[in-house]
Amino acid sequence: MAQADEQQEHGSVSRETSRDTGTLGKLMVLLDLVTHADAPLRFTDILALAGQPRGTLHRQLGHLVEEGLLELDAEGRYAPGLRLLDLAARSWARNEFRLIAAPHLAALHRQTGETVHLGVLRGSSIIYLDKVEGHQPVRMYSQIGNASPCYCTGVGKAALSVLPSARLDALLPGLNFNRFTPSTHVRPETLLAEIRDIAAAGHAFDREEHEAGIRCVAAPIWSDDRSFIGGVSVTGPAYRLSMELLQAWAVPVQLTAMKIMDEMRIRLGPRR
């Protein structure tokens, strides 16, 4: 049960577990629970998190295992299945937005020499779609496909700064603020104040808010109708990336975001 408690504490458990979302929705909840767990989960862990009857849960997990979406190990623990890797690889390879952004990310990487991230806002999380490693990579949480909280990452705060007011107002009360470092926002009031500053400046900073010793500067990316919102960032260790240096890189990061958006409008705009 310790694993289940930890997942609830860090807010990675789907908020859909308490709603009747139909059969497909319930299966997706189970996939979310298992794939976002730091370690394989036992049936009792999932039962405590999913809020579904024992018999129904057992059948649904069985279906997911049969389809290769989950795997059941010899100790009775559930882990992501290999079929998910195949689906993810195909999705990543065909993601047109990532392909549009790739050369611009590479150019920003050549200019800075540091790690460049591309992310998209999904709910209250940032999903990393692409990453170009720095010349001197350091171990970071970020990996392609990983989700990070929007309130303590540069890309996340940049994305929040371009959300329509109604969507931002609806999102903020549901954020589960966890203090990852002493610099992490833990109150919506302080986050909202910074978001307003970011909206005015056009760029955001991560001042060691998600990972101690890691800083970044980010700029938002969005579609004209705000149906797509994300961001691009340059990230590196605090001992190498002073705030003065990040401030100097704010303009190149913003220009990169603008180039990506311009190409998005041309290649992903209305088609006849």
Residue 12, pLDDT > 50, answer: no
pLDDT digits (tens, 9 = 90+) for 96-150: 788 889 999 999 999 999 999 999 898 888 988 889 987 766 656 667 777 899 9
Q: How far apart are CA 62 and CA 16, in angstroms?
A: 20
Which amino acid type is present at position 198?
A: I
* pLDDT band (50, 70, 90) for residue 27: confident
Instruction: Mean pLDDT check: name the lowest of 62-66, 186-190, 203-207, 250-254.
Output: 62-66
Instruction: Mean pLDDT check: name the lowest of 22-31, 101-110, 161-170, 180-189.
Output: 22-31
Residue 264, pLDDT > 90, answer: no
Which amino acid type is present at position 234?
A: V
Q: Is 70 helix (H, G, I), strand (E, B) or coil?
A: strand
Instruction: Mean pLDDT check: name the lowest of 27-41, 126-140, 146-160.
Output: 126-140
State the chain's mean pLDDT as an integer: 84
Q: Considering the chain, what percentage of its residues have pLDDT values greater than 70? A: 83
Would you state the structure tokens that stand for residue 50, as one six-digit string? 């999913």
**CB contact set of 49 (below 8 Å; sequence gap of 6+):** 4, 7, 8, 13, 17, 33, 41
Q: Measuring CA to CA, which residue among 213, 172, 178 is closest to residue 194?
A: 172
Would you state the structure tokens that stand for residue 30, as one six-digit string? 């189970």
Q: What is the pLDDT of residue 135?
A: 72
Give the total residue count for the chain. Answer: 272
pLDDT digits (tens, 9 = 90+) for 173-182: 989 899 999 9
CB 108 within 8 A of CB 116: yes
Most trustworthy range by pLDDT among 2-11, 145-154, 180-189: 180-189
End-to-end CA separation in angstroms for the chain:
54
Which amino acid type is present at position 113?
A: G
Q: What are the residues facing 172 on neighbouring strands?
A: none
Question: Measured at the alpha carbon of residue 219, what is the angle toward residues 189 and 155, in degrees to the nearest 5?
Answer: 60
What domains appear along the chain, each with residue ranges and CATH number? 2-86 (1.10.10.10), 95-267 (3.30.450.40)
Q: How far apart are CA 146 and CA 113, in angstroms?
A: 22
Query: Which of 266 and 181 is assigned the larger pLDDT?
Result: 181
* pLDDT band (50, 70, 90) for residue 268: low
Query: Which of 90 and 169 is assigned the larger pLDDT?
Result: 169
CB 257 within 8 A of CB 219: yes
Beginning with the edge strand found earlier in the chain, give each strand of the sheet holding 147-149 in spatial order. Answer: 147-149, 125-132, 115-122, 229-237, 214-222, 204-207
Q: Considering the chain, what percentage of its residues have pLDDT values greater than 90? A: 47
CB 232 within 8 A of CB 218: yes
Q: Measuring CA to CA, which residue among 271, 259, 266 is closest to residue 102?
A: 259
Q: What are the residues facing 205 on neighbouring strands?
A: 217
